[in-house]
Amino acid sequence: MADIRSNFLGIQSPNPFWLASAPPTDKEINVTRAFEAGWGGVVWKTLGEDPPVVNVNGPRYSTLMSQDRRVIGLNNIELITDRPLHTNLEEIKRVKRNWPDRAMIVSLMVPCEEQSWKNILPLVEDTGADGIELNFGCPHGMSERGMGAAVGQVPEYIQMVTAWCKHYSKLPVIVKLTPNITDVRHPARAAKAGGADAVSLINTINSIMGVDLDRMVMSPSTDGWGSHGGYCGPAVKPIALNMVAEIARDAQTAGLPISGIGGITTWRDAAEYIALGCGTVQVCTAAMVYGFKIVQDMCDGLSNFMDEHGYATLDDFKGQAVPTVKDWKNLNLNHIEKAVINQDACIQCGRCHVVCEDTSHQAITFTKEGGVRKFEINEAECVGCNLCVSICPVPECITMRALEPGEVDVRTGKTVTGEYANWTTHPNNPQRVSAAA
């Protein structure tokens, strides 16, 4: 049986699944229910100074739905906790005392002033919490007050505040990064320079979910007005995975522990984050859509996956996919693939033909004999783009075949050599000499 216990910065938890700092972790009753359901840890909803912030008393969420009414994106305009600081601290202390084997991380956001951080850190330490997460990512409301993403978008501020926290607290410091930035490596480097023990990412993305065209009002709205919010859910996962990979493979941040966040709904999502270097994963939207017990499926699925692949612990596959992520210039331009259609599996829907004919390379032919439709790959036109595989509704009906050395690519007439060559050495690159050097 695979061991899915997590040891992140010395913080032990029975599994790597933590609830992210969000509405599900705002109260003792919620967190207790989460632990009863099996979550390995929580990041308590962001604490701030008293008096507490004020949230809108109305719609805070809006969703992006798939055609089958599944939530694939969630927009949120809720701010940090709107409960008094002492109330949160007392509840954190009780929960940690009652659940000593679970990870308890406290998210923090106070003004970008040294005294404010100096004041709140010992209060959090007194709760017995295992660590703190600095919320440098909130994209709405708080950023307009000079906190959240307003700090996370300035590497110098990240380094400065992180250094304050390391100076005034003995707890591990996790810096939560905003995706609302051009290059996530710069804030990650700043966090490391400030002494951060880890980073977590991504926080939510600036978004407006839609417009009510009958009322001509953005959605959601409060008394006829709306504001941009934070976007999360399954649809942000590709963005998050890219940012996680950038930090994991950057020479200046490689080895920096990462807690992955963004669209994690299944065990497979979690395994992908771990394969790209994450030690834990944080979940919010999936819990808000399906309830806390979803963690049981996540744990079972991850354990079964590890058993099937012979991974005894999380460390056995953590980061294994990182070396496969490269800059485009390093991709092998001598590697050739062609699409292959399994005629026995094909349902003759024609989607592959339509998209290839209209938007790609006219490499899928269509014939009809005796009322039977047939679609075939024309290798003389196929560039191996994978579009047909991506849109085919039948799994494994269309696959890709790599040409072996010695085969001729009928599209170009060239023989496949099997030798590696990339853009830095390509004859079409006017800078190939300097690039190769």
CA dist 253 and 177 (Å) reads 14
Would you say 313 and 49 are in contact if contact means Cβ atoms under 8 Å apart?
Answer: no
CA dist 124 and 99 (Å) reads 17
Give the tokens for residue 398.
């269309």
Q: How far is CA 331 from CA 324, 410, 433, in A?
A: 10, 22, 17
Would you say 231 and 206 are in contact if contact means Cβ atoms under 8 Å apart?
Answer: yes
Positive or negative: CA dihedral 193, 195, 199, 205: negative
The total of other beta-carbon atoms located within 10 Å of residue 265's CB is 22
Could you tell me which of 64, 61, 60, 22 has the C-alpha nearest to residue 39? 22
Q: Indicate the helix (H) or strand (E) that contains 7.
A: strand 6-8
* Residue type, position 397, single letter: C
CA dist 421 and 424 (Å) reads 8
- Catalytic entry in 138, 165, 278, 284: 138
For the chain, helix, strand, coil in percent to 5 are 35, 25, 45
Q: How many residues does the chain have?
A: 437
> Is 356 an active-site residue?
no
CA dist 340 and 394 (Å) reads 13
Q: Where does residue 223 fall: left (phi above 0), alpha (psi -120 to 50 degrees), or beta otherwise?
A: left
CA dist 121 and 127 (Å) reads 10
**C-alpha count within 13 angstroms, C-beta hemisphere, residue 95:** 29
CA dist 408 and 416 (Å) reads 6
- Residues carrying an active site annotation: 138
